[in-house]
Amino acid sequence: MDKVFGKGAISKEDAQKEEDRRMKAFRFLTDLTRQRLYIEPMTLAEARGLIDELRQTAERFFPGKGNVFDLVIAPRMERILRERFGSGAKPGGEVH
C-alpha cells in the first residue's frame, strides 16, 4: 500500500474511499435539491439560494472544481427553474 507522506498519512485506497463517499453524498444532495425545487413551495429567489448552497457544498467537497458544477449541474438546475417559474427564470440571474 502506498502512503501519502506527512502527519495522518492515508493510503491511496482510503483516499479513494473518501472520494467515493463524497461523490455519493454529493449525488444524494443534488437529487434532494432537485426534488425540493420541483415539490416545495418557494420563490424564485429561494430556489436560486438552494442552488447556490449546493454549489458551495460542491466547492467544499471538491475544491477547485466549481467549473464542473457550472458546466454540468447548474444547467440542469436552471432547466428546472425554467420549467417551474417560466421564462422569468432565464439564466440572466446566474445561480452563483
Distance, in Å, from the CA atom of 75 to the CA atom of 90, rounded to the nearest integer, reads 11
pLDDT given at position 91: 59
Distance, in Å, from the CA atom of 86 to the CA atom of 30, rounded to the nearest integer, reads 22
Decide if 81 contacts 47 (C-beta within 8 A): yes
pLDDT given at position 33: 98
Q: Where in the chain are the domains?
A: 12-86
Residue 16, helix vs strand vs coil: helix
What global pTM score does this model have?
A: 0.77
pLDDT given at position 12: 87
Residue-by-residue pLDDT tens, the chain, 96 positions = 444 545 567 788 888 899 999 999 999 999 999 999 999 999 999 999 999 999 999 999 999 988 999 999 999 999 999 999 987 776 544 443
pLDDT given at position 15: 86
**Residues recorded for the chain:** 96
DSSP string, 44-57: HHHHHHHHHHHHHH
